[in-house]
Structure 1
């Protein structure tokens, strides 16, 4: 267990987020044409130029790095400021990501959640969820970022 995060942020940032990012990695690397086509609604899957395939693969590679970095930081550090700065950096990345998608999709498609595909829910909806979870965690609404008592310590205190 990541020792500094309370229960809900632990499950969001140490379990769900790395798994979902790994899913993005896998789609980008294994199915780059699909990955590119799914970025915007109503886009057909077509053969990619070598340059576009390279960009999809590089994006997938970045997803892989992000998943490994999250696991490395959240499971290794014993310093709350490190976790907080990590979450702030990702929150800024979430804002940049959402702004770029909004800019390209346009307001109507971006805010028409009832029209979103499963991929858009992952790309936009889950990014919004993660951003809100980061704000809630940083604001202390989901518990305090601190050294958490292990199950052994909790059992000793209960006796």
Structure 2
């Protein structure tokens, strides 16, 4: 299966990101208490309400959908514009995600990476890395997003 992405973005967006989303899905669905508790570093453990469990499960569901959509879009499209718009949409989501976490953590905790737990590294560190790779990919720093030679000009005729 070919994608339009150069090698580094391919491994990041077609392999690593879907795997991390499936891991996030599993934690949110099968361990909702831990998922909610670990959202912010240095938070006390508390009993998770039914609403909290529901929000964790819904978030897990979104992670699963994002993994499937990424695989479907990046492996199915032959349109450079679709890949670019997909990456821009996810970049905007990354910015919103990081802004929300920064708001809730506060600047001191957000910028004190040495104090983060493993989950915060995934929540903030991985999201920041994905945003940087998205920006770099859109700027062409890893190479051009382009159709593979095997897909250019091939149209099925009836």
Query: TM-score, normalised on structure 1?
Result: 0.91
Q: 2:21 matched to which residue of 1?
A: 21
Gaps of 5+ in 1: 151-159
Q: Which runs of 4+ in 1 moved over 3 A?
A: none
Mapped partners of 1:97, 1:105: distance in 2: 12
Q: How many residues align?
A: 150
Mapped partners of 1:10, 1:2: distance in 2: 10
Mapped partners of 2:45, 2:21: distance in 1: 22
Q: Larger helix proportion, structure 1 or 2?
A: 1
Structure 1 residue 100 displacement after superposition: 0.1
Pairing of 1:2-151 with structure 2 (within 5 A): 2-149=2-149
Mapped partners of 2:33, 2:62: distance in 1: 17
Gaps of 5+ in 2: 151-158
CA contact (8 A) 1:5 1:148 kept: no
Structure 1 residue 43 displacement after superposition: 1.7
Query: TM-score, normalised on structure 2?
Result: 0.92
Question: What's the C-alpha RMSD, in Å, of the aligned pairs?
Answer: 1.1
Q: For 1:110-132, what per-residue CA distance to the aligned partner results, in whole angstroms no more than 9, with x for missing partners?
A: 00011111111100001000000
